[in-house]
């Protein structure tokens, strides 16, 4: 009856979700991620059988688990990349609150699995590392606060984000997990710089790390042991760094051959923190260069697309996520060749690890969501105006 009197409302034709998502997606970044995951499975088949045999599992037990975790990570990445920036922000805020509480409760309910650092929750069938999931949520929340700081009568977002960052860094240092603490600090510093912070302030923050590092060295045996091992000019061939550097040296340009590497039998973390050593030994520097090229493609293409973004929140959040992603890969490979002290940090999408894979899928999904093409003018239009 209503339609007879007032007429029917016109139905607006909407563009299908999947075609629109595919047309606006950065396909080079998506392809690079998928290739890295495939390389990780290939290297897992070479690196994980010794550990599986040691623990009484089938030869490819860890590869199968990596495939399951990786499949969940790919689904999370695709679903997140389909979201609008506003929805990503809302979900990231809720995820950040949950992971922050989980991080705070680690000293009570967490475990160290005999590694000297309480970073995980034991779930029986798997383990959960809250700091991996905290990173993308923290970046989005900090970007939101910094962007709000620029609004008229906006809150002191920069100051709040700084206090939040310092709280998280201190919580991570108490585990101790200095690697993740440095990632959080680095990601925040990059966003703070992009948001327009003066160079003098950034320099002051960097200089403040010297007394902090000195305090950590003098009061943390875990931290001091890693620094001493890094500064020692002689490399003990029976240590993880010793095995890793020898494997890279043996691999040369083309590697010793698939399945012929020996480092996987000596390194307890050959399938996680030192997976790049397995790649260098069995496949040579050719594969290592290919992996580096894929990471560089993801980072550079994402930065170039973010440079054209006019929304300050999207620009800051995307920059922070890309910075952490790229530096984590750089640190992992730098540790393997002894350019950096050991950090216990995985190689994104290549190393084995459920928390790392799934959290990485969410983070890259956010990057893909923030770098999707949107109907807007170039940021240079604002500058010219």
Rounded to a whole number, what is the distance in angstroms from the first to the last CA of the chain?
53
pLDDT of residue 207: 80
Q: How confident is the model at residue 101 (pLDDT cuts 50, 70, 90)?
A: very high
Per-residue confidence band for 14, with pLDDT thresholds at 50, 70 and 90: low
| Average pLDDT score over residue span 153-157 | 86
Contact 52, 62 (CB under 8 A): yes
Query: What's the CA gap between 162 and 159, in Å, rounded?
Result: 5
- For the cut 50, the answer to whether the pLDDT of residue 6 exceeds it is no
pLDDT in tens, 42-66: 998 888 888 888 888 888 888 999 9
Q: Is the pLDDT of residue 385 over 60?
A: no
CA–CA–CA angle 242, 243, 249 (5° rounding): 90
pLDDT tens figures, 289-319 = 999 999 999 999 999 999 988 899 999 999 9
d(CA 223, CA 384): 50
Least confident of 240-244, 315-319, 347-351: 240-244
Largest separation between any pair of C-alpha atoms in the chain: 90
% of the chain surpassing 70 pLDDT: 88
CA distance to 152, 193, 310, 385, per residue, from 382 (Å): 18, 20, 8, 5
Q: Evaluate the CA torsion angle 12, 17, 20, 21 in order and state its sign.
A: positive
CA torsion 24→28→31→35, rounded to 10°? Answer: -160
The residue that leads in pLDDT, 267 or 286, is: 286
Tens digit of pLDDT for each residue in 195-229? Answer: 887 777 777 777 877 777 777 777 766 667 667 66
Average pLDDT over residues 159-183: 90
| Helix, strand, coil percent content, the chain, rounded in steps of 5 | 70, 0, 30
* Both tokens assigned to 97: 């609150």
The mean of the pLDDT values for the chain is: 85
Q: Is 321 helix (H, G, I), strand (E, B) or coil?
A: helix
What tokens does 250 get? 């043996």
């Amino acid at each position: 009856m209503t339609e007879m009197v007032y007429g029917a409302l016109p139905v607006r034709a909407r563009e299908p979700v999947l075609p629109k998502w595919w047309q606006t997606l950065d396909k080079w970044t998506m392809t690079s991620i998928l290739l890295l995951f495939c390389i990780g499975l290939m290297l897992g088949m070479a690196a994980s059988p010794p550990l599986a045999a040691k623990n009484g599992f089938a030869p490819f037990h860890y590869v199968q688990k990596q495939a399951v975790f990786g499949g969940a990570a790919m689904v999370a990445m695709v679903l997140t990349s389909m979201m609008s920036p506003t929805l990503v922000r809302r979900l990231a805020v809720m995820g950040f609150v949950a992971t922050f509480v989980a991080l705070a409760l680690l000293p009570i309910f967490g475990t160290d699995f005999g590694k000297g650092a309480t970073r995980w929750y034991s779930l029986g069938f798997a383990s959960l590392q809250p700091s991996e999931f905290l990173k993308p949520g923290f970046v989005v929340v900090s970007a939101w606060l910094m962007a709000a700081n620029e609004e008229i009568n906006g809150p002191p977002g920069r100051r709040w984000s700084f206090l939040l960052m310092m709280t998280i860094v201190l919580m991570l240092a108490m585990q101790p997990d200095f690697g993740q603490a440095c990632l959080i600090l680095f990601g925040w510093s990059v966003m703070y710089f992009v948001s327009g912070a003066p160079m003098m302030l950034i320099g002051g923050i960097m200089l403040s790390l010297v007394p902090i590092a000195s305090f950590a060295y003098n009061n943390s045996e875990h931290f001091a042991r890693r620094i001493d091992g890094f500064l020692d000019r002689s490399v003990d061939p029976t240590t993880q760094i010793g095995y890793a550097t020898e494997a890279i040296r043996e691999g040369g340009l083309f590697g010793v051959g698939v399945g012929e590497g020996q480092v996987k039998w000596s390194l307890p973390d050959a399938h996680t923190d030192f997976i790049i050593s397995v790649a260098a030994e069995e496949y040579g520097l050719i594969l290592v260069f290919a992996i580096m090229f894929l990471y560089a493609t993801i980072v550079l293409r994402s930065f170039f697309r973010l440079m054209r973004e006019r929304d300050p929140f999207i620009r800051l959040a995307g920059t922070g996520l890309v910075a952490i992603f790229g530096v984590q890969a750089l640190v992992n490979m730098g540790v393997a060749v002894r350019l950096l002290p050991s950090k216990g940090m995985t190689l994104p999408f290549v190393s084995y690890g459920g928390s790392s894979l799934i959290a990485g899928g969410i983070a890259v999904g956010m990057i893909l969501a923030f770098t999707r093409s949107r109907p807007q003018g170039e940021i240079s239009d604002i500058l010219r105006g």
